[in-house]
Amino acid sequence: MTLKDHRDRHLERIAEVRGGRHAEEVGYPIRVRETEVVRTAMVGTGLLRLTLGGPGAAGFEAHSPDEHVKLLFPEPDGSLRLPEPNGSMLRWPRPSPTSREYTVRRYDPVAGEIDIDIVPHAGGLASDWAHEVEPGAVVHLAGPPGGLIVPHAYDRYLFAGDITALPAIARWLEELPRDARGWAFVEVADATQEIELSAPEGVEVRWLHRGDRPPGTGDALARAVTEVTVPEGERLYVWVAGEAGQIKPLRRWVRDELRLEKADHDITGYWKRGIADFDDEHDH
């Protein structure tokens, strides 16, 4: 088997899953890339877009709206500790390097650009850094380690989340077939955080305004989502992400009311109130 065969095996698997009936995680070969900042810009008032490019961005793998990369940051003493290639995987130093995980919002192979949308919050390592960073600055990123491949065979799709889930939801809506049907619910602070979305005509987008409530609190998102009626006999795919506690009722709803099979939903706690570097709580 040549290296090329080995390298393309995940592409064959992605095509198989996409042409099948159930969603599945597919791993890609993981690399560490040295990229540079091309520009930063606000998208609405709630997202700071970091655009990375340079020679290190060439050949980036992007196949799924929920794939993510780790931005690697120098340690407090200024040293940068990077994982090392280990076949198609990475060997991570111990203790783990300082990193933050983000959804890949867009990869443009022609321009050689990777967009990452960060939710700015005071005292956030990556958001403070992204606010200050100048074009030309070097950034190392690791991944994506793989992504969730969702076939276009479902009758309807339901997406829900807060602003941390918005980059992934925006990409889902762009990449769905134009005849797809379903719903997208996004909770934001107010109308200034709403962004332009390229949703298929048959996907109803609902913005929920949090107002003065702290992020990650209240049941408005769960209430709105659970009012959805799925037509009898239709196959539904559900993707939910956001604050771990706030999406708990939706885990129950998907399991007890919708009774979806494991492969037909993906529910992830992206963050938890009061915890700075929270590891994903994954359920699919």
For the segment 126-136, what is each residue's pLDDT rounded down to a tens digit?
989 999 999 99
CB 173 within 8 A of CB 200: yes
Q: What is the pLDDT of residue 121?
A: 84
The SS3 call for residue 140 is strand
Do 204 and 256 belong to one domain? yes
- Among the candidates 114, 130, 147, a domain finishes at 147
280 pLDDT above the threshold of 80: no
The reported pLDDT for the residue numbered 152 is 93
Query: For residue 237, what is the domain's CATH number?
Result: 3.40.50.80
**Same domain, residue pair 117 and 47:** yes
Phi, psi of 14 (to 5 degrees): -60, -45
- The tally of domains found in the chain comes to 2
Same domain as 31, residue 137: yes
Looking at residue 1, its pLDDT comes to: 43
3-state secondary structure of 162: strand
Residue 4's pLDDT is what? 53
| Type and span of the H or E element at 102 | strand 99-103
Does residue 23 sit in the same domain as residue 131?
A: yes
Same domain for 186 and 141:
no
Show the domain range for 230. 154-271
Question: The pTM is what?
Answer: 0.92
CA distance 134 to 173: 31
Let me know whether 126 and 189 are in one domain. Answer: no
Where among 97, 125, 147 does a domain terminate? 147
